[in-house]
Structure 1
Amino acid sequence: MGWCKTSLWPLFHRVLAGAFALSLAGCATLSVEQRDEAAGIARAARSSQVDCTRADACALASPLRALGKQAIAASTPSAPRHVALILDDAPDALLVRIHLIRSAQRSIDLQTYIFDEDDSAQLVLDELQAAAFRGVKVRVLIDQLAALREVETLAGLTAMHANFELRVYNPVLDRARLALPMYAVAAGCCWRQLNSRMHNKLLLVDGEVGITGGRNYQDDYYDWGAGYNFRDRDLLVAGPVGADMAANFEAFWSSRRSVPAEQLGDVARLLRKQGAPPPPHAPYRKPERVRALLAMVDDEAAIRARFVDPAMPVRGVQFIADLPVKHWQGRPAEANAAAEAASIGLRTLIAGARDEVLLQTPYLVLSKPAQHLFRELHRREDAPRVRISTNSLASTDAFIAYAISHKYKRRYLRDFGFEIHEFKPFPADAPFEPGALGADLPVFEATAAPAPSSAASKPRPSLRERRLAERGLRKDPDSEAGRFRALGSGGMPMRLKQAGMRMGLHAKSMVVDGKVGVVGTHNFDPRGDTYNTESAVVIEDPAFAARLSASIQRDMAPGNAWTIGRRDSSPILPGVEYTLARVSERMPIFDLWPIKYATSYEFVPGPDCPSPPSPFDPRFRACHTPVGNSPEVDIGLKWLGVRVFTAFGSGLSPIL
């Protein structure tokens, strides 16, 4: 199979890799006959039963699908028509997925990076299984590194139904799942392959309506996380662009890097040893929440109110997406444009900006081409305004990426002209749904008066704290639920001074000149440029751009974000301090100067400050107060980690 080819690393790396491989049997493979036997076991176990004989596969009648069909019917090759809907509300993003799956008549193509085995992911698997039994062709393409926890789950899915196919993209070491020790083996023998990941996300139904954006299949992308949830964004689009989405999915599906799960060593061994396991279904952690969501799936009034009425007709729709050829080493130069379509397309949009670039990314770590682009943009006499929405240290799930970003704050402000707004872990006003469909939240006694014995010892909550509590986002010092996030997508947020349900930014979006809106999977980072395959929908429509801009600016509002600005200069030799900081920043390692150029600020409204001025406005300091480099964070020993990665970690930028 060739999954364990070594590269020309130094000798000690090869020796280390060989030792791991021998001790852990990391590169042991099955024969062709053994794989064929396993595939035969899976095929024999697959049901061919179809529960519906109707031509439409007993699909759910959907007013949302009807809207998309109208757009397609009204389209011509020279004048395509589309409808689009921004999915900001997380439970709605799950609800509409289930609704669309039930509305499928012919095909469902699902492509994702993370596919967990928690409530939201299990619900989607259940619905995909039901669709297959209705007669719908279901194809699921998952990336190896972050999809499905158990080999038994993959084996059960491969043997479930003749209408259900599962493939794993770019598997390393001939496995569908890598146990933690095997990552060391993979890093030693197959570093480039290990890092070459499929980051695309797509749900395409009948080739007509698609959803793409930041969300994976895991509870914390749908406000179902127990202690940490993502502020994310998807885009639903229906119309002729579905054909482009289908073609891109087909390119990945038919790639030699997409391997049927039953042909991989660990899945094949299980099938040969134990036979085909039953279709996977774990008990729901919160079944009442699942029931509440399912009760709305076929509620036409609810579907119209949540998805049909807010959908808008749009023009200028384009789907830009990388191809698997991006992961071919030594590819011909003429293939670069197709391989890196997402990165090239996004940089082209930014380069053409005249007035403003509004950019939202969870990880503000820029590739070399992106840095060059923004530097040249800022040098223009008529340089556009560049506003950035990103994570703070308190909200991020990737503190290493934040540490690298912190290293370059001076460059971002002075050389690129960035106005940076960092998302708070307890935002006062963000799309978040408590209640029957939402997250696990403590009950807040809004009208309860404090007991007399505690009135003197407990200060009255501030207006902001009361608003947070009313939305279920209160900071609860007695709760451990929000202190740490379970490992899922590979990250863990910092410990905060107070616990509670926290949020972290995961949306990847952009608005250029108030005319072009972009929603996709690209983090505008080196990984997206070099290692990951990415995709995005670009819509050149001012009305759509205005709606997307309002959504991003909501996340940048003072109640939801801190603003990054230049810290006050030292009264003693400020020029020397600045020079030392700049010299230290330029060091690829040993960036040890402790005083950084920028810090976080909180907006303080007042008669002279009705709205927050830009950090480059002379009034900025009069309207803001500094709150330190890491507000809300109980940094403890993690301070050492942040400092280490700030000082020595710039070499990791390409893989962050």
Structure 2
Amino acid sequence: MPFPRRFPSVAALRVLAAWLVLACSACATLSPAQRERASAIAEAARSDMDTCQARNACAQASPMRQLAGRAFAQSAPGAPRHYAVILDQGTDALLARIDLLRSATTTIDVQTYIFYEDDAGRLVLEEMLAAARRGVRVRLLMDQLSALERVETLAALAGAHENLQVRVYNPVLGRARISYPQYLLAAACCWRQLNQRMHTKLFLVDGAVGITGGRNYQNAYYDWDPEYNFRDRDLLVAGPVARTMDADFLRFWNDPRSVPVEQLADVGRHLIKAGVPALPPPSYTKPERAQAMQRDAGDAALVRERLANAALPVGEVSYVADSPDKHDGNAIDGAVASVSLRELIESAREEVLLQTPYLVLSDPAQDMFRALHERKSPPRVVVSTNSLAATDAFIVYALSHKYKRRYLREFGFNIYEYKPFPADAPVDIAATGVELPDYVPTGDVQLPDHRALQREYDTRTVQGRDGYRRALSREYAALRYASRRANEPVPLKRAGVRMGMHAKSLVIDDRIGVVGTHNFDPRGDHYNTESAVVIEDAAFAEALGDSIRRDISPANSWTIAPRDKPPVLWGLDYSLGKVFEYLPVFDLWPLRYATSYEFQASPDCPQPLPPDHPGFRACYVPVGDFPEVDMVGLKGLGTRFVTAFGAGLAPIL
């Protein structure tokens, strides 16, 4: 008897049909005629309103812009002069940007990975539009996966003003925005393109003064988020190197991957169907905070006191950056930033001070650090990074946790992990908008000021709030849609304004300082374009080193060190743990080589000690692998699961 023929069910056919329709619609780009029509609609709608007839575009006098004038005046052939300002505090970084936007006389170029439509993003966008209306040419280039969220906003900007141009880099499926199903389709058809992101961040005014570093355009980067903020770092540099920055921006702007927003399928169809929408006036969640920032940016004396007076005079400055060519052929061949940073680290003789939010190293980086440690007189390597409690990317931390033994034993790292509630961070807690109580009792202790926010209650009650549902960071494009909460911090045992490390910096032998966008990770080597400012100057290196050492102080970080040896079978435990570590999956050995330690000050322990100091264990107490974290729940289990089974994700992390 023949087997009966099995036909798909009606429900299965419907699902298949829906996916086919989705695939066709998602991949449908604009025809040449549609692109031409959408561009014509946007161009016709652009205002030519000019609020200023002065040759300098009614630019505001700026102490920050004046730094560039001084630098160029003091430069000579073969002897350049620059001024550098380390922007540690988020509100200072935003103030510097607003001040410089108002100081522009000819051009403003902004290149970024994330541009979010929250208070910080709206404020910067409004100031850019105001500059365009007074005669300044403004160009905004954003990576597709983290560009402005609303197609309507992009359509409005496409036709806002003749002096404003907006482009999106490497748009997968030819769209400005992609939904979750479209993301899955892009992952299936265009995995390499999906991962090739523009992580470069550059803010450039008049080709004379630029800012680069870790910050994107979102509240969390400027101390404006009430629940989670990044401890980040930018570097403002004024002088001749800005010309190199300008040339690099133009390479991206003119690359075929940078597409005018009106030519993208979703924005173009919106323009054809409904025309250019009006850009609504900014609606701030906390208007008084935005108004205060606008007022402060108009106060030259305040800007000079807070920012310009901190400028360090330096000589030669290098801007090393990947070009879009990195996304052609073998990506590592175009990894200019990765190669340059690796050469700097290999030049170290005494100390490498490295700060990265995500401690996942590429294979070449591991080989380099292993060779460095095997030298006859190896340099000390000090690493400042996130704890699980502080990170916004628990998947990445889980893999970092997997390789702690390797980092400590084979590379000789001294690792310090940032606390979620650092006691001495350069973060403006008042700017977050959270109302600070006078105190909250904790036993017999009353915590003053911002530490009062570290309340002793379970944060699972706030996990459903909008602030936690938002993706606070999108550093990892390939994992962005892994789940709704893939990019959220893990729940903690207590609540408060949480901080997460996001700075990417490097100091070599107290003589070279680097601030940039590279996370020193495989993504930065292979997929993302990256950039960095390199300054060989002892005073600058000292200032940058002091900033990083503040972050690794006991008030702000836990120290990672080997756990106490078990009384019996220590060698067997170590060997089995090492074997499991090298397994790509099924790394199920329960005892990890290292754990977190807290410094205990006492008359016998007046100062912190490095973990390899003979007196370390007398002054530090173990506080567990994941201090402060509520490991009950999916995130806690997920962290251990990724540690055991997620090694294959390393190339895209």
Conserved in 1, the CA contact under 8 Å of 2:220 and 2:472? no
For residues 2-52 of structure 1, the C-alpha deviation after alignment (integer angstroms, 9 at most, x for no partner) is xxxxxxxxxxxxxx9998454342211221101111111000000011111
2:285 alignment partner AA = R
Conserved in 1, the CA contact under 8 Å of 2:458 and 2:492? no
What residue is the counterpart of 1:417 in the other structure?
412
Decide whether aligned partners of structure 1 residues 512 and 632 sit closer, same or farther in structure 2, where only a CA change above 3 A counts.
same
Superposed displacement of residue 478, structure 1: 7.8
Correspondence 1:497 to 2:493: yes
What stretches of structure 2 of length at least 5 have no aligned partner? Answer: 1-14, 475-486
Query: 1:559 is matched with which residue: 551, 555, 560?
Result: 555
What residue is the counterpart of 1:248 in the other structure?
248
Q: Specify the SS of the correspondent of 1:309.
A: helix
Correspondence 1:646 to 2:639: no
Conserved in 1, the CA contact under 8 Å of 2:30 and 2:263? no
Decide whether aligned partners of structure 1 residues 239 and 21 sit closer, same or farther in structure 2, where only a CA change above 3 A counts.
farther
Superposed displacement of residue 470, structure 1: 4.0
Superposed displacement of residue 330, structure 1: 5.3
What residue is the counterpart of 1:270 in the other structure?
270
Conserved in 2, the CA contact under 8 Å of 1:225 and 1:439? yes
* TM-score of the aligned structures, taking structure 2 as reference length: 0.93
Superposed displacement of residue 647, structure 1: 1.0
Q: Partners of 1:234 and 1:472 in 2: how far apart?
A: 28
Q: Specify the SS of the correspondent of 2:493.
A: coil
For residues 239-284 of structure 1, the C-alpha deviation after alignment (integer angstroms, 9 at most, x for no partner) is 0000000000000000011000100000000000111011244410
Query: 1:607 is matched with which residue: 603, 609, 612?
Result: 603
Q: Partners of 1:115 and 1:329 in 2: how far apart?
A: 28
Higher mean C-alpha deviation, range 205-214 or range 72-81: 72-81
Decide whether aligned partners of structure 1 residues 278 and 492 sit closer, same or farther in structure 2, where only a CA change above 3 A counts.
same
Query: 1:587 is matched with which residue: 583, 587, 592?
Result: 583
Decide whether aligned partners of structure 1 residues 497 and 478 sit closer, same or farther in structure 2, where only a CA change above 3 A counts.
closer
For residues 166-213 of structure 1, the C-alpha deviation after alignment (integer angstroms, 9 at most, x for no partner) is 000000001001112111010000000000000011100000000000
What residue is the counterpart of 2:477 in the other structure?
none
Q: Partners of 1:630 and 1:321 in 2: how far apart?
A: 36
Q: Specify the SS of the correspondent of 1:26.
A: helix
What stretches of structure 1 of length at least 5 have no aligned partner? Answer: 1-15, 451-457
Correspondence 1:508 to 2:490: no
Conserved in 2, the CA contact under 8 Å of 1:21 and 1:27? no
Query: 1:352 is matched with which residue: 347, 350, 355?
Result: 347
What residue is the counterpart of 1:367 in the other structure?
362
Q: Partners of 1:167 and 1:208 in 2: how far apart?
A: 22
Superposed displacement of residue 397, structure 1: 0.3
Superposed displacement of residue 616, structure 1: 1.3
1:263 alignment partner AA = Q
Query: 2:540 is matched with which residue: 539, 544, 567?
Result: 544
Q: Partners of 1:256 and 1:18 in 2: how far apart?
A: 34
Higher mean C-alpha deviation, range 472-481 or range 215-224: 472-481
2:418 alignment partner AA = F
Decide whether aligned partners of structure 1 residues 62 and 481 sit closer, same or farther in structure 2, where only a CA change above 3 A counts.
farther
Q: Partners of 1:160 and 1:599 in 2: how far apart?
A: 54
Conserved in 1, the CA contact under 8 Å of 2:513 and 2:540? yes
Q: Specify the SS of the correspondent of 1:141.
A: strand
Superposed displacement of residue 440, structure 1: 2.1
* TM-score of the aligned structures, taking structure 1 as reference length: 0.92
Q: Specify the SS of the correspondent of 1:616.
A: coil
Identity of aligned residues (%): 57
Q: Partners of 2:603 and 2:469 in 1: how far apart?
A: 41
What residue is the counterpart of 2:285 in the other structure?
285
Decide whether aligned partners of structure 1 residues 634 and 215 sit closer, same or farther in structure 2, where only a CA change above 3 A counts.
same
Query: 2:433 is matched with which residue: 440, 445, 469?
Result: 440
Higher mean C-alpha deviation, range 639-648 or range 361-370: 639-648
Number of equivalenced pairs: 621
Conserved in 1, the CA contact under 8 Å of 2:601 and 2:607? yes
Q: Partners of 1:17 and 1:60 in 2: how far apart?
A: 59
What residue is the counterpart of 2:570 in the other structure?
574
Q: Partners of 1:352 and 1:330 in 2: how far apart?
A: 26
Conserved in 1, the CA contact under 8 Å of 2:58 and 2:134? yes
Superposed displacement of residue 500, structure 1: 1.0
Q: Specify the SS of the correspondent of 1:198.
A: coil
Superposed displacement of residue 481, structure 1: 5.7
Decide whether aligned partners of structure 1 residues 42 and 514 sit closer, same or farther in structure 2, where only a CA change above 3 A counts.
same
Q: Specify the SS of the correspondent of 1:173.
A: helix
Decide whether aligned partners of structure 1 residues 63 and 330 sit closer, same or farther in structure 2, where only a CA change above 3 A counts.
closer
Q: Specify the SS of the correspondent of 1:200.
A: coil
Could you say what the CA RMSD is over the residues aligned between the two structures, in angstroms? 1.8
Matches of residues 303-314 of structure 1 in structure 2 within 5 Å? 303-314=303-314
Conserved in 2, the CA contact under 8 Å of 1:122 and 1:281? no
Superposed displacement of residue 473, structure 1: 4.4
Q: Partners of 1:387 and 1:260 in 2: how far apart?
A: 43
Correspondence 1:460 to 2:444: yes
Superposed displacement of residue 442, structure 1: 2.7
1:513 alignment partner AA = D
Q: Specify the SS of the correspondent of 2:236.
A: strand
Superposed displacement of residue 592, structure 1: 1.0
Higher mean C-alpha deviation, range 22-31 or range 527-536: 22-31
For residues 77-98 of structure 1, the C-alpha deviation after alignment (integer angstroms, 9 at most, x for no partner) is 2000000000011111101100
